């Protein structure tokens, strides 16, 4: 494959955009090489500006569950565009999409739309703080919830559970109320509750973590988390920006039984357009402006074109819920094939699947938390990523991301990717 045009494009982009990209992970920093610049999507494929075609397992980091240029989503967007791009006033489509989400998520009675997952999480944290009148909240190392200041934290010093900024530009004052616990470790959560002087407003977790690789939480751990929140009067926030409509039609709640208080959503509900959302029961949402005192706003929140895209996408998924069984079967077949490829050359690999989400680590031990994930052979992952790209398979460009199957990822594409994995690993271990 030739990447000449992408190499030139990357240099040009670098002159006017930091790192040449508008979101850091896209720069291929952790896998090496030049990020390919995309010309267009075609169903389950991406085509780059050099004309190379790839089976797309990234799908814009989750949103494109129906694949690229889905006819129904496209016509809904075009119809909406012809009426205008934005009004800054209520539209019926917002109510329609909100109704779909309320119908699908038992724990959501009312929902507010925003323009990104970051905004959804930032607003949910504020809502929980305002509702409980407490400032501290708990997050888990390895979970990513967007780039709002109080969520950019890393483990503090020593035994302290209080986070310190993980990025320059984030004042310590803005992370001193963020406590860090270990995923799947309930004792670490209890410690946070004990160390919080003012009390915990919320515990936020990805119930199916997709930002340290795919690492689902143990059901028993989530049950204990629910009980702890109830005991202390803290709100449990499930960040389903990624897992919502990806693990099942109801996200985690379609495959697990623990009920959160607040849910954050994004990605699939915009079908590729900028949409985030957060929702919970009415008595909590009543605290949100303009009903209540907790402020939250957005010029393009509930944008009618984005709403039309999301509504068409959700309606299509809702009309065909059995598609999730097919998505999961294909994800399992892909991971089975990757595991066969690794076993054939004596390379350790662990894999996992939840609905249309899949993940694999070059590691010989089960991954239950971020420290486990960090033990994977990310150098081998980088080389594998490059080989697969050459063979026309577009995987997430980091060991700490999740892969996705779309409704237009066919069995043939799955087998093609498995063959590419086999030859790539043979070449890498020869
Ligand atoms: P956005 O602000 O990027 O729309 O959403 C933030 C977010 C919140 N919560 C979860 C569980 C998420 O996965 C995300 C964003 N996911 C990453 C992919 N791991 C977006 C890709 C990127 O940062 O470019």
DSSP secondary structure string for all residues of 293-328: SB----TTTT-HHHHHHHHHHHHHHHT-TTHHHHHH
Pocket of ligand 1 (CB under 6 A): 23, 25, 61, 116-118, 121, 144-146, 206, 210-211, 239, 241-242, 266, 276, 401
Residue whose CA lies nearest to ligand 1 atom number 6: 146
**Minimal CA–CA distance to 402: which of 85, 153, 32, 59?**
59
Ligand 1 centroid vs 429 CA: distance in angstroms? Answer: 34
Residue whose CA lies nearest to ligand 1 atom number 20: 61
Ligand 1 centroid vs 61 CA: distance in angstroms? Answer: 8
Instruction: List residues with catalytic annotation.
Output: 144, 239, 267
Interstrand relation of 110-114 and 53-56 (parallel, antiparallel or unpaired): unpaired
Domain ranges (residues) in the chain:
4-69+322-429, 71-319
Question: What pLDDT is stored for residue 368 in this prediction?
Answer: 98
330 and 407 in contact (C-beta within 8 Å)? no
Q: Which H or E element spans position 94?
A: helix 92-104
Residue with tokens 């985030």: 276
Q: What does each of the 430 residues of the chain score in pLDDT, given as a tens digit? A: 899 999 999 999 999 999 999 999 999 999 999 999 999 999 999 999 999 999 999 999 999 999 999 999 999 999 999 999 999 999 999 999 999 999 999 999 999 999 999 999 999 999 999 999 999 999 999 999 999 999 999 876 666 678 889 999 999 999 999 999 999 999 999 999 999 999 999 999 999 999 999 999 999 999 999 999 999 999 999 999 999 999 999 999 999 999 999 999 999 999 999 999 999 999 999 999 999 999 999 999 999 999 999 999 999 999 999 999 999 999 999 999 999 999 999 999 999 999 999 999 999 999 999 999 999 999 999 999 999 999 999 999 999 999 999 999 999 999 999 999 999 999 999 9
| 71-319 is classed CATH 3.40.640.10 | yes
Question: What pLDDT is stored for residue 159 in this prediction?
Answer: 60
Structure token digits, residue 170: 């984030």
Cα angle 352-358-363, degrees, rounded to a multiple of 5: 50
Ligand 1 atom closest to residue 146's alpha carbon, by position in its atom list: 6
- Ligand 1 mutation target, pool 118, 122, 217, 354, most atoms within 8 A of CB: 118
Question: What pLDDT is stored for residue 162 in this prediction?
Answer: 80
Burial of 293 (0-12, 13-18, 19+ CB in 10 A): exposed
Question: What pLDDT is stored for residue 223 in this prediction?
Answer: 98
50 and 6 in contact (C-beta within 8 Å)? yes
Q: Which H or E element spans position 272?
A: none
Class of domain 4-69+322-429: alpha beta
Question: What pLDDT is stored for residue 154 in this prediction?
Answer: 85
Question: What pLDDT is stored for residue 381 in this prediction?
Answer: 97
**Minimal CA–CA distance to 58: which of 76, 33, 74, 41?**
41
65 and 246 in contact (C-beta within 8 Å)? yes
**Minimal CA–CA distance to 37: which of 55, 23, 51, 25?**
51
Question: What pLDDT is stored for residue 427 in this prediction?
Answer: 98
DSSP secondary structure string for all residues of 53-74: EEEESSGGGTT-TT-BT-HHHH
Grouping H, G, I as helix, E, B as strand and the rest as coil, residue 332 is helix
Distance of CA 271 to the CA centre of its chain: 13
What's this model's pTM, rounded to 2 decimal places? 0.98
36 and 3 in contact (C-beta within 8 Å)? yes
Question: What pLDDT is stored for residue 161 in this prediction?
Answer: 77
Q: What are phi and psi of 7, to 5 degrees?
A: -65, -40
- Return the number of other C-beta atoms located less than 10 Å from residue 318's C-beta: 13
CA 377, 383, 386, 390 dihedral sign is negative
């Amino acid at each position: 494959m030739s990447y000449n045009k992408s190499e030139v494009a990357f240099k040009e982009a670098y002159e006017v955009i930091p790192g040449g990209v508008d979101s850091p992970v896209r720069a291929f920093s952790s896998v090496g090489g030049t990020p390919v610049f995309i010309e267009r999507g075609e169903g389950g494929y991406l085509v780059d500006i050099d004309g190379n075609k790839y089976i797309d397992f990234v799908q814009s980091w989750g949103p494109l569950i129906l694949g690229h240029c889905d006819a129904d989503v496209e016509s809904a967007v075009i119809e909406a565009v012809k009426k205008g791009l934005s009004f800054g006033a209520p539209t019926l489509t917002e109510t329609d999409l909100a109704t779909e989400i309320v119908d699908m998520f038992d724990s959501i009675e009312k929902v507010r739309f925003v323009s990104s997952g970051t905004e959804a999480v930032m607003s949910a944290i504020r809502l929980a703080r305002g509702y409980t009148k407490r400032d501290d909240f708990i997050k888990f190392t390895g979970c990513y919830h967007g780039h709002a200041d109080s969520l950019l934290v890393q483990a503090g010093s020593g035994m302290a559970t209080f986070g310190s900024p993980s990025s320059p530009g984030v004042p310590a004052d803005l992370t001193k109320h963020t406590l860090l616990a270990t995923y799947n470790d309930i004792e670490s959560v209890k410690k946070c509750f004990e160390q919080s002087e003012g009390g915990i407003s919320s515990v936020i977790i990805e119930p199916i973590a997709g930002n340290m690789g795919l690492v689902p939480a143990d059901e028993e751990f989530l049950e204990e988390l629910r009980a702890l929140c109830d005991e202390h009067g803290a709100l449990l926030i499930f960040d389903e920006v990624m897992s919502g409509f990806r693990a099942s039609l109801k996200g985690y709640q379609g495959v697990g039984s623990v009920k959160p208080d607040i849910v954050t959503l994004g990605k699939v509900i915009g079908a590729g357009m900028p949409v985030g959302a957060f929702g919970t029961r009415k008595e909590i949402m009543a605290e949100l402006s303009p009903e209540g005192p907790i402020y939250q706003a957005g010029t393009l929140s509930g944008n009618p074109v984005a709403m039309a895209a999301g509504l068409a996408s959700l309606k299509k998924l809702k009309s065909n819920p059995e598609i999730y069984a097919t998505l999961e079967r294909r994800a399992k077949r892909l991971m089975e094939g990757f595991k066969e490829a690794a076993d054939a050359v004596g390379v350790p690999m662990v894999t996992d699947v939840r609905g249309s989400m899949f993940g694999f680590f070059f590691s010989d031990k089960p991954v239950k938390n971020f420290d486990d994930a960090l033990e994977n052979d990310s150098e081998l992952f980088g080389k594998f990523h490059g080989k697969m790209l050459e063979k026309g398979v577009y995987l997430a460009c980091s060991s700490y991301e999740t892969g996705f199957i779309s409704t237009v990822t066919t069995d043939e594409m799955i087998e093609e990717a498995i063959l590419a994995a086999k030859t790539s690993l043979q070449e890498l271990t020869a």
